[in-house]
Amino acid sequence: MKKGALIFFAVMFMVVVFACMPAGAVKPCDIYTKADAEAFFKEKVSSQRADKTAAPAGNSCSYFYKKKGGTFSMKLRVSSTDEIKNEGIFNSAKDYFERQKKARIKSGSAQKSLKMVPGVGDEAFWSGSSLWIVKGDNLINIAVRTELTGSFKNRDAMDKAREEQDLDQSKKVAEKFLSKMK
C-alpha cells in the first residue's frame, strides 16, 4: 500500500508541475545539448546546470569546462511571452527586450558597450557581456566565455579582445540555437 501511495503522489506531483508550466516554456538544455556544447568548446563539458529563472521568468542552461586552471562557460536563458506575462512585471518578450535596450541607451556607461547586432533573431543587441535576442514570442540571452589566448599591450586591449571574442562566440551559439528552436 505504501509503494502504491508513493507512486500515486509522484504521478500527481508531475501532473501539477506540468500543468503549471506555461505552454510557451522553452527548455534551453533540450535545444542546445551537452553534445552541442562540447562540439562548440572542443572540450569535454565538466558540468551542466538547468535552472528556472526570474525577472524575467523562464529557464536557463549552463555548460562549463575546465582548462589550464580556469573554468569557462556558456549560459543560455530563454523566457517566453507567456512566462513573462505570468510573472506580472512585463507584458511580453518584446516589451522586456525593448526596456533593456532603452535602459542601456539612457545609461552613459552601459551605452558604451551597447551594440545592435543585425541578422540575429528578429532583433538583437550586445550588452557588453551577453547577447540579447528577441525571436517571435521568446527572449533569449546568451553569454559565452571561453579561454582568451594571446598577449596584449595593456588591460584595455585585453578587455577589448575579450569582448570581441565573447560577442563572436555568442553569435555562433545563437545561430545554432535559433536554427534548432524552430
Which triple of cell numbers denotes residue 19?
A: 500543468
Question: Structural domains in the chain?
Answer: 24-181 (3.40.1000)
Strand partners, 154: none
pLDDT tens per residue across span 16-52: 333 344 445 889 999 999 999 999 999 999 999 999 9
CA distances from 1 to 4, 12, 21, 178 (A): 5, 16, 30, 48
* Pairwise CA distance, residues 77 & 11, whole Å: 28
CA angle, residues 150, 144, 164, in degrees to nearest 5: 50
Angle between helices 34-41 and 155-181 (to 10 degrees): 140
- The predicted model scores a pTM of 0.84
